[in-house]
A = this chain, B = another copy of it.
Amino acid sequence: MEKLKFERLTKRRKKLVESLKESTNDRGIVLLFGNSMSPMNYKDNEYRFRQDSTFMYFFDFYEHADLAATIDLDSGEEIIYGDELTTDDIVWTGILPTIKNEAEKIGINKTLPRRNLEKTIKEALKQGRKIHYLPPYRAEHKLELIELLNIKESEIEARKSLDLIKAVVNLRNYKSEWEVSEIEKAVNISYQMHKNAIIHAQAGMKEYEVKAIISKTAQEMGAELSFPTICTVHGETLHNHHYHNTLENGKMLLIDAGAEISTGYAGDLSSTLPISGKFTERQKLIYDIVYKSHYAAVKAMKPGVPFKECYYTSCREIFNGLKELGLTKGDADEAVHAGANALFFQCGLGHMMGMDVHDMENLGEVWVGYDGVEKSTQFGIKSLRLARPLEAGFVLTIEPGIYFIPYLIDKWKAENKFSQFINYSEVEKWKDFGGIRNEEDYLITPDGYRILGNPISKKLEDVEALRS
């Protein structure tokens, strides 16, 4: 295990350096920050520690806060900066692995106190060398960059290293066999979280009680949540982090939740279930359309196919399905390219997944999911996080959905928007329907795709069977 880790991480760093040596004329120092503890309501009352994913990708240290690392692109020198426990600390924490020891395990023999980072950076700046850093998403790192580089907050973004971003994305986007096996562990825990919720949810419970079952399943399996759980009887509210509604028969419950395991890898699944145990006839009609849309998109996936095309495939299925119900009209292809389907399907089809549930979102979707091609600003497709041609090794989610958002329906209707494609008088009848989403995680293989983990069947009758 230790030997494999050593090889895995040294290889990744070697590739990073090689790639940067090719891409950048401006050699200098790569600076990567590990995360700090995040204070909740005072400094020492902290959220659970989450290491930065890129830092983990190259150095591991899943449980070690306040680290930083530099790689000198000329000399190749790698340094980890961090403060070892003092004898006073050890009284409170017990004896823990040292930074030095952990660094040696991944092939780095130089560790220095955290404050020495300043020296390295100032020295490099004095020599006119470039500091390659990633865009910071934590304010602590912004503060540190302001001090280290002697710049204003407003300059941080402009001075980030595009070469570094591209080099990191180009490594992390392609999952190794080992990574896929780690992701599958997380996905399988995620399935168990959903299964327990599907089995135990019942009318009369509060949403937060189901959410509690989901968290408990993750934790008792030794995992954490990869993102805040969505667990709502209002599936149409896409950013829903309120959990005080009561589950009622006749309604559906939409769950979007995933696990993160201790190597940092994530799962991300969604389920929609009927609270009474049986879908109503109306619910069956929409569920069926989402189901068809889902697997039409899945079947379209293979290396070389732009994911944007899979998205359009899923949109067409939704548009045509709703057409059969009289909610839409006209040519599906025309409608979905114009964006008319976005009245019902406002978000993307899926996203890259890895150590981050939206993998590398902090590095920019335009690099991760668009390979540098500018994103559309059209409502609907602008929320598509992944569009580029698929390649073997990509891991991604598939999660089309249909959402009846009363506010949006009112707005579009008032504007008479896309009235050539939408029968508003029919749509009105579905305004209180809610929303349906199912979600699974896939690997792109040389031949096509493979679903990850041991999935729960999304078939309508199978979901009902699991509920009974």
Contacts and interface: CB of A to CB of B under 8 A. Distances in A.
Interface string A65-108: 00000000000000000000001001111110000000000000
Interface string A45-64: 11110101100000000010
Interface in A304-360: 346, 355-358, 360
A237 B94 contact: yes
Given A46-B228, A213-B216, 6 more contacts: A38-B38, A39-B137, A42-B362, A87-B411, A212-B218, A222-B244
A238 B405 contact: no
A390 B46 CA distance: 28
A228 B48 contact: yes
Among A53, A218, A360, A407, which residue has the most Cβ atoms of chain B within 10 A?
Answer: A407
B220 A208 contact: yes
A433 to B, nearest CB: 14
A158 interface: no
A206 interface: yes
A40 B244 CA distance: 24
A155 B234 CA distance: 47
Interface stretch (A138-146, A283-291, A295-303, A394-402): A138-146
A147 B143 contact: no
Given A94-B240, A361-B42, A153 B147 contact: yes
A206 to B, nearest CB: 7
A47 B38 contact: yes
17 contacts: A42-B358, A42-B361, A42-B362, A44-B361, A45-B227, A45-B228, A91-B238, A93-B240, A94-B237, A138-B139, A139-B139, A139-B142, A142-B143, A206-B222, A209-B220, A212-B216, A215-B219
Contact of A361 (B43, B212, B237): B43
A162 to B, nearest CB: 18
Given A95-B407, A219-B211, A237-B92, A358 B45 contact: yes
Interface of A: 35, 38-48, 50, 52-53, 63, 87, 90-95, 137-140, 142-143, 146-147, 153, 206, 208-209, 211-213, 215-220, 222, 227-228, 234, 236-240, 242, 244, 346, 355-358, 360-362, 405, 407-408, 411
B206 A212 contact: no
Contacts of A209: 219-220
Contacts of A94: 234, 236-237, 240, 405, 407
A6 to B, nearest CB: 22
Given A94-B407, A238-B92, A50 B40 contact: yes
By CB atoms of chain B within 10 A, which of A41, A143, A362 has the most?
A: A41
A93 B244 CA distance: 15
Please state the number of chain copies in the assembly. Answer: 2
A299 B63 CA distance: 42
A197 to B, nearest CB: 12
A239 B91 CA distance: 9
Nearest to A43: B137
A237 B90 CA distance: 9
Contacts of A38: 38, 40, 47
B357 A45 contact: yes
Contacts of A42: 137, 356, 358, 360-362
A35 B43 CA distance: 13
Nearest to A219: B212
A214 to B, nearest CB: 9
Interface centre among A138, A240, A411 (most CB of B within 10 A): A138
Contacts of A212: 215-220
Nearest to A356: B41
Contact of A239 (B48, B87, B92): B92
